Chains A and B, each alone.
Chain A
Amino acid sequence: DTGVSQDPRHKITKRGQNVTFRCDPISEHNRLYWYRQTLGQGPEFLTYFQNEAQLEKSRLLSDRFSAERPKGSFSTLEIQRTEQGDSAMYLCASSPTPGGSSRHEQYFGPGTRLTVT
């Protein structure tokens, strides 16, 4: 496994600008998750995909946020009209489809740190 990769690792943007992050999951994993982590807190669930279908979205995911996974492989998370409160680490994780006792853990990427000035 090459692991989950995320790009960019760091992004500094001005308030009001749009930003897009990319996540490449572990190749055989058909589930992909996005989380947000602010300083001193644990990650908070944003959304997840089963292949290309987005199956659940958190209430944290306002209408300025959109996520896609068009071919069931990589995913993008876009934030429109960024606000200072969007500053956080955005984490991507992937997993196989749960089934049996050995397929439930999620594997995390290194994250994209967003700073909105």
Chain B
Amino acid sequence: AQSVAQPEDQVNVAEGNPLTVKCTYSVSGNPYLFWYVQYPNRGLQFLLKYITGDNLVKGSYGFEAEFNKSQTSFHLKKPSALVSDSALYFCAVSPEGSGGYNKLIFGAGTRLAVHP
């Protein structure tokens, strides 16, 4: 079965410190990979994606993610966390299927708490 795992329910980090939110996936073929963020009472917002090419991709708000094919991981990173980064983060994969890349399969989410 195709799945996405976010092993940490919550990540706590002090403001100014680097942060990492982990994601691994179990999907056959060459999936596309995404990170989304969800703020309270707001919809999911796209952060960044990996389609092909450089394993380190950069996205919105200073976030980046590193794709590792051998480990089937796509960890989200930021060099210096801000209190305003506190939110719920979702990793998602789009499997290669008939007709191309269609649906997204999401992880359960990781709550990031950045403390002043």
Contact = CB atoms under 8 A, between A and B. Distances in A.
B90 A42 contact: yes
Contacts of B99: 55-56
Contact of B108 (A35, A40, A58, A108): A40
Given A4-B43, A111-B43, A42 B106 contact: yes
B49 interface: yes
Nearest to A6: B43
A56 B104 CA distance: 12
Interface residues of B, number: 28
A48 B104 CA distance: 11
A111 B53 CA distance: 33
A8 interface: no
Interface residues of A, number: 25
Query: Which 10 A-B residue pairs are closest in the complex by CB-CB distance?
Result: A42-B106, A108-B44, A45-B103, A108-B43, A110-B43, A105-B46, A101-B51, A43-B106, A42-B108, A42-B90
A98 B105 CA distance: 17
Contacts of A111: 43
Central interface residue in B4, B45, B51, by most chain A CB within 10 Å? B51
Interface in A82-117: 91, 93, 98, 101, 104-111
B84 to A, nearest CB: 20
A105 B34 contact: yes
A40 B43 CA distance: 15
A104 B44 contact: no
B68 to A, nearest CB: 20
B103 A33 contact: yes
Contacts of B94: 104
B32 A43 contact: no
A115 to B, nearest CB: 16
